[in-house]
Homo-oligomer: A and B are copies of this chain.
Amino acid sequence: MSSIDKALDALFLLSERGQALRLGEVAHGLGMPRSSAHRILAPLVKRGLAEQDADGRYRAGFALMALGLNAASREPLAAAARPVLEAAADELGETFFLVVARAGRLVVLEKAEGNGFLRAAPRLGAGVPVHATAAGKLYLAHAPEQVTVDEFTRYTPATPRSRRALDLEVERARSQGYATNLEEWQPGLAVAAAPVLAGGRLYGVVALATVSARFSALGLTTITRRVIHAAEGIALRIEGRTP
């Protein structure tokens, strides 16, 4: 394991914990002595990726934010999707978000939250499983080379058990033009998603997430129509035809 790996471990550790950590806590979290942790952290602090408060505690640094915002601003897809997602979220009062494949994994690129007290609130940049989500089914249907199904963790009783069971869902998603996920990932969570197809390529997936009860109340046709409409709206903006 290279020292770069260890430094990145430290970086992610600080980012995940969120709060300021003692040197000993970092060392314990990385499984190394304090002196080693100190040496690892020094370059991170020098670049502003980690910071030390007045008590010497370490926390995620500010330069991290600059790097991240820089990366985000260079994602034209997120910019194209934002107004469409917000319009859809305002209209239905439910959470809409955009999922894309990056390095074989599915991540949340942009979102617009609904206004319910109980609402889906995905974290930007967070990963979602392929085999237990509507977005995963659509990616397997339209661009299987962009994602990898490495595991079949059973999150709930409704989670697809095997590749064969999943493929049935994938085939249905392809023919229908949308996919659903009824508590296959998280209990109580229902999702409908539609592909953002432009120029024959899959750019991402628009998803609506809500509580199962409200999903049934709204009705499948209402939901799918709105999700497909949003996905097509984003596809139009990608192609430059922004009416």
Chain A residues with CB under 8 Å of chain B are: 2-5, 7-8, 11-12, 15-16, 18, 40, 43-49, 51, 60-72, 74-75, 102-103, 105, 107, 123-126
The answer on a CB contact under 8 Å between B8 and A43 is: yes
The answer on a CB contact under 8 Å between A125 and B2 is: no
- The CA of A46 and the CA of B75, in the complex, are separated in Å by 20
Least CB separation from A104: chain B residue: B48
Closest beta carbon of chain B to A237's beta carbon, Å: 20
Give every chain B residue within 8 A of A18 (Cβ-Cβ).
70, 74
The answer on a CB contact under 8 Å between A65 and B62 is: no
A11, A40, A69, A102: which has the most chain B beta carbons within 10 Å?
Answer: A69
The answer on a CB contact under 8 Å between A71 and B64 is: yes
The answer on a CB contact under 8 Å between A69 and B70 is: no
Closest beta carbon of chain B to A15's beta carbon, Å: 5
Give every chain B residue within 8 A of A103 (Cβ-Cβ).
45, 48, 51, 61-62
Closest beta carbon of chain B to A54's beta carbon, Å: 10
Give every chain B residue within 8 A of A123 (Cβ-Cβ).
66, 69-70
The answer on a CB contact under 8 Å between B4 and A67 is: no
A68, A102, A126: which has the most chain B beta carbons within 10 Å?
Answer: A68
User: Given B46, B60, B66, B124, which contacts A125 in the complex, CB threshold below 8 Å?
Assistant: B66
- In the complex where A61-B71, A68-B64, A102-B51 touch, is A44 in contact with B124 (Cβ < 8 A)? no
The answer on a CB contact under 8 Å between A125 and B65 is: yes
Least CB separation from A66: chain B residue: B125
Closest beta carbon of chain B to A199's beta carbon, Å: 16
